[in-house]
């Protein structure tokens, strides 16, 4: 926190830069929003980039509730629900377990901790395509093929690589004195985790939750391959709207659907904002 001692000039420059960046980030969103109000004929007859002639809401209504997908004309509403059922438990579970892993690897110095951390971190690099068939085999052996629990298992285990990385590299900065003091007081493994580590964690937990929720929410390959029709996540619906060779792509409805589908993640970002607060370690050591 730099004091507002900085003069007004540099303050203006600061805001100017931030606004320019904001425009850069918003530009594509603007395109999608505009398209969500344009009809199929409008887009097909003029161009994919353009202003709507009227703010009609047909695309939104269709995307949400009436567009026909897989034989049912219910829009993306049921798929949104499915995605929530997958993303929320998977995010929470992988985040919590990642925090546990991070805690163990950073604060309980055992031999080989660095190696274990390195191996787990390597997991973030494994491309999704290469893991598809092995997962199919694993799920078959566990009897979880084509079930939601199977899909949850996939997301949680894959997420562990990321969540462990985030949490461990955050927890290494926790002062060792805190831990030592607690141990002297007689606190055990679980207690230190609950009483000391977790309260210090909001900034990294929220970042981890953001990462996991976004990743799982937008995930298509596994969501499609390891689930059956009625349980499919919203990415299946979005893909149905966009993957087209032989068809006219319904850009208008697709835009509306994309925006609706992005809402939960946006809410996570907005809501998570208040956890980006400063200095939670301040005062804790003293």
Partner 1 sequence: MNAARRTRDVLEGLSRLFAALVLATAVCYVVGFTAWTTWISFTDSALLPDYTFVGFKHYERLLGSRVFLVAYGNLAIYGVGFIVGAAATGLLLAILIDQKIRAENALRTIYLYPMALSFVVTGTVWAWLLNPDIGIENFVRGLGWDNFRFDWLIDSDLAIYAVVIAALWQASGFAMALLLAGLRSLDADIYKAAQIDGASPARMYLRIMVPAIWPIVVSVLVILLQIAIKTYDLVRALTAGGPGIATTLPTNVVYDYMFQRGEMGAGSAAAVMLLLSLLLVMVPYALFQRLQKRRQQRHD
Partner 2 sequence: MTRHHRRALLLACSLGLAHTSLHAEPRLTVISQWSAGAEGAAMDAFGNLVKKEGVTWQHSPVSGFTTDMMNKLRADIIAGHLPAAAQLKGPDIKAWSAIAPTVNMNDVVAASDFPQNVSPDLAKLHKPQGNWIALPLHIYRVNTLYASKKALDRIGATALPRTWDEFNSMAGKMAEAGITPVAHGGIAWGDTMYFELVLAGISPNAYQRAIMQLDDQALRGPEVLAGLRQLRQLTQWMNPSNAGQHWSVFLPALMRGEYGFLMMGGWASGVLKRGKFQEGKDFLCGPTPNDSQRPAFDMNADSLVFWDTRNPDLLAGQKIAAKVVMGKEFARTFTQINGSVPVRTDVDLADAGYQDCQRDAARNLKEAIAANQVLMSLGHNMAQPSGVTGELRDVLTEFVHNKRITAEQAQQRLVKAADAVR
Q: Which of positions 212-231 make contact with partner 2 (CB under 8 A)?
A: 220-221, 224-226, 228-229
> Which of 207, 200, 206, 202 is CA-nearest to residue 282?
200
Under the binding rule (CB under 8 A), the answer on residue 126 touching partner 2 is no
Question: Do 165 and 211 contact (CB within 8 A), yes or no?
Answer: no
Question: Cα 118–121–123 angle (5° rounding)?
Answer: 120
Under the binding rule (CB under 8 A), the answer on residue 77 touching partner 1 is no
Under the binding rule (CB under 8 A), the answer on residue 193 touching partner 2 is no
Under the binding rule (CB under 8 A), the answer on residue 128 touching partner 2 is no
Minimum distance of partner 2 from residue 48's CB (angstroms) = 6
Please say which residue, 68 or 285, places its beta carbon nearer to partner 2.
68
49 burial (CB, 10 Å; 0-12 / 13-18 / 19+) is: exposed
Under the binding rule (CB under 8 A), the answer on residue 206 touching partner 2 is no
Query: Whats the size of the chain, residue-wise?
Result: 286
Under the binding rule (CB under 8 A), the answer on residue 210 touching partner 1 is yes
Out of partner 1, partner 2, none, what residue 182 binds, judged by CB under 5 to 8 A for its kind, is: none
Under the binding rule (CB under 8 A), the answer on residue 12 touching partner 1 is no
Residue spans of alpha helices (H) in the chain:
8-35, 40-45, 58-61, 77-107, 113-122, 128-142, 148-171, 176-184, 189-192, 198-200, 202-217, 221-225, 234-242, 251-272
- CB burial of 120-132 (b: ≥16 within 10 Å; e: otherwise) equals beebeeeeeeebe
Minimum distance of partner 1 from residue 24's CB (angstroms) = 7
Under the binding rule (CB under 8 A), the answer on residue 225 touching partner 1 is no
- Coil, helix or strand at residue 72: strand
Under the binding rule (CB under 8 A), the answer on residue 273 touching partner 1 is yes
43-102 positions binding partner 2, by CB under 8 A: 44-48, 67-71
Choose one: 54-62, 93-101, 133-141, 260-268; the region binding partner 2 (CB under 8 A): 133-141
Minimum distance of partner 1 from residue 285's CB (angstroms) = 8
Under the binding rule (CB under 8 A), the answer on residue 10 touching partner 2 is no
* Tokens matching residue 218: 């937008």
* Tokens matching residue 268: 């996570």
239-258 positions binding partner 2, by CB under 8 A: 239-241, 243-250
116-145 positions binding partner 1, by CB under 8 A: 116, 119-131, 133-134, 137
- Coil, helix or strand at residue 49: coil
**Where along the sequence are the contacts to partner 2 (CB under 8 A)?**
40-41, 44-48, 67-71, 132-133, 136-137, 139-140, 145-146, 220-221, 224-226, 228-229, 236-237, 239-241, 243-250
């Amino acid at each position: 926190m730099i004091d507002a001692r900085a003069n007004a000039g540099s303050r203006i420059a600061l805001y100017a830069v931030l606004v320019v960046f904001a425009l850069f980030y918003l530009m594509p969103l603007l395109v999608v929003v505009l398209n969500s109000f344009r009809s199929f004929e409008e887009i097909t007859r003029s161009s994919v980039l353009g202003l709507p002639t009227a703010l009609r809401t047909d695309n939104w209504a269709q995307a949400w509730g009436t567009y026909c997908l897989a034989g049912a004309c219910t829009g993306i509403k049921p798929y949104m629900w499915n995605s929530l059922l997958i993303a929320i438990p998977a995010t929470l579970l992988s985040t919590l377990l990642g925090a546990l892993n991070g805690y163990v690897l950073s604060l309980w110095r055992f031999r080989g901790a660095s190696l274990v951390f390195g191996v787990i971190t390597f997991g973030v690099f494994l491309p999704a395509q290469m893991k598809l068939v092995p997962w199919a085999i694993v799920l078959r052996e566990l009897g979880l093929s084509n079930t939601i629990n199977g899909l949850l298992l996939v997301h949680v285990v894959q997420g562990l690589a990321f969540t462990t990385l985030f949490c461990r590299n955050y927890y290494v900065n926790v002062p060792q004195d805190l831990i030592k003091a607690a141990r002297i007081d007689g606190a055990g493994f679980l207690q230190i985790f609950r009483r000391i580590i977790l309260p210090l964690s909001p900034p990294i937990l929220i970042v981890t939750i953001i990462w996991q929720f976004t990743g799982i929410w937008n995930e298509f390959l596994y969501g499609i391959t390891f689930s059956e029709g009625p349980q499919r996540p919203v990415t299946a619906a979005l893909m149905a709207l966009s993957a087209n060779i032989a068809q006219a792509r319904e850009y208008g409805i697709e835009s509306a659907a994309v925006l609706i589908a992005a809402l939960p993640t946006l809410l996570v970002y907005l809501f998570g904002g208040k956890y980006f607060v400063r200095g939670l370690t301040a005062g804790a050591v003293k």
